[in-house]
Amino acid sequence: MRSETQGVLTMAAAATLWGLNGWFYKFLSHVPPLEVLCHRILWSVVFFGLIIVLQGRMAEVRAAFGRNNRVGLLLLSSLLIAVNWFGFVYAVHVGRALEASFGYYIFPLMTVAMGYVVFGERFSRWQMLAVLLAVLAVLVMIPGLGGLPVISLVLATSFTCYGLVKKRVTTRPIPGVFIEALFLLLPSLLWLMAVHFHLSLAEGPEPGAWFGRDLATTLLLISSGPMTALPLVLMSNAAQRISFATLGLVQYLNPTMQALVAILVFGEPWTPWHTLAFCLIWSGLIIYSVESFRRQSRPA
């Protein structure tokens, strides 16, 4: 099998795992979202730590801590990814997974806009049209939702800012995310300890402290680590085999599957406003993708 074909299939596997994340976290809807986030951080540290040790990459982790400016950026990126992770889990738990998928659709177009604002990157006319279509899609969602699509904007903005910060960090993806999760580990452990301590003092049933109550929930919480790590490992492998434009195009499989799971499995409502908004955003994504391929195929 050609290396490029392997890369596309590997990226498709990563996007599929991300796309099914909503289904996975729906099984944890009886666990408070903040508690799920803390377990996701804890078990991500464990899983990423094992990968790094087995691959003999601890030197990369030590090198990252040896540069103060890089540590500061990784600390900022850890806060941004925590917001993103929590926002997605919260959206699934409150029945707004479809709105969350919309956020991951508009993320690449928001990245184009932020590149113009932050780095002074120049728009082509087609890229500008794609961004304007994304803005129009957000405006269209307002009457359908009775207000701004807050979850969509939080997820798209946090992930865009996360990407902007990571652009300034040369640490590779797996050691980088391990360090980010490591920064969040102590507050996560403190929160989980406080929740369990509070439960032990309570006379009646209290929400939270679900780890260890039943085997299924315990295994699901532990599995949140591999569910976070595996797609990133697959994407890192795919990025070495295929072009950036192809990588971005295949990644649209993620929000598409999220939307299908939200509609077909969770039974979330689909309105004419959703249809119009998604038509606008898909038009923008097609324009953006074609323009990306066109630019990449130009001779240097």
* Tens-binned pLDDT, residue by residue, of the chain (300 aa): 567 778 788 888 988 999 999 999 999 999 999 999 999 999 999 999 999 999 898 988 888 777 666 788 889 999 999 999 999 999 999 999 999 999 988 887 887 777 777 777 677 788 788 888 888 988 888 887 777 889 999 999 998 888 888 878 777 878 888 999 999 999 999 999 998 887 665 544 456 788 888 899 999 999 999 998 888 888 877 877 776 666 767 778 889 999 999 999 999 988 888 889 889 988 888 887 787 777 666 654
Global pTM reads 0.87
Task: Specify the amino acid at residue 10.
Answer: T
| pLDDT the model gives residue 204 | 46
| pLDDT the model gives residue 68 | 63
Radius of gyration (C-alpha) of the chain in whole angstroms? 20
> Is residue 198 within 8 Å of residue 204, measured between CB atoms?
no
Distance (Å, whole) CA 222 – CA 211: 9
Distance (Å, whole) CA 225 – CA 228: 5
Nearest to 10 by CA among 235, 230, 184, 179: 235
> Is residue 211 within 8 Å of residue 192, measured between CB atoms?
yes
With a CB cutoff of 8 Å and minimum separation 6, the contacts of 93 are 25, 26, 29, 33
